Amino acid sequence: MTHIDIRIDDLSGDATRALIAQHLDGMHATSPPESVHALDADRLRDPAVTFWSAWIKGELAGIGALKDLGDGRGELKSMRVHERFLGAGVGRAILRHIVDAARRRGMTSLWLETGSPADFIPAQRLYESEGFVTCGPFADYTDDPFSVFMTRQL
């Protein structure tokens, strides 16, 4: 298996910013604006958010973030694998890295919102395979036909 280098990212690099923009464009292509909950680069700089990038042989392969919701809860944000690296295990590696980071921080549960359209089924399957289960809305989310909410105890 190819080595994946996952590191905290300050969101200043062109490759990182381009993948965030691609992620946002993809969300807007599949969901109405009011149903897009992805964060742009500026909102990912929130002190409650830790952002990671994954690299393979010097190329950006994916991104992911963890938002501290307080009370031992964390939210998975901005998971995206660069299309060139789909199927290479990057998404799973980032997800496991974030789960481990949340545990180290003493979090007891992780939460996420992902899309419900067919384009999001691979992401839903990844989360399910790593122990996430469907739940209702959490934090400031409300019921939305374009959203699937999931959680996992740590």
Give 17-86 as a 3 state SS string.
Answer: HHHHHHHHHHHHHHCCHHHCCCCCHHHHCCCCEEEEEEEECCEEEEEEEEEEEECCEEEEEEEEECHHHC
Tally of domains within the chain: 1
Tens-digit pLDDT profile for residues 79-117: 999 999 999 999 999 999 999 999 999 999 999 999 999
- What is the torsional sign of CA 76, 138, 32, 39? negative
What's the pLDDT score for residue 5? 97
Q: Helix, strand or coil for residue 101?
A: helix
Indicate which CATH number applies to the domain containing 67.
3.40.630.30
What is the value of pTM for the model shown? 0.95
- The pLDDT-based confidence of 3 (bands split at 50, 70, 90) is very high
Domain range enclosing 64: 5-153
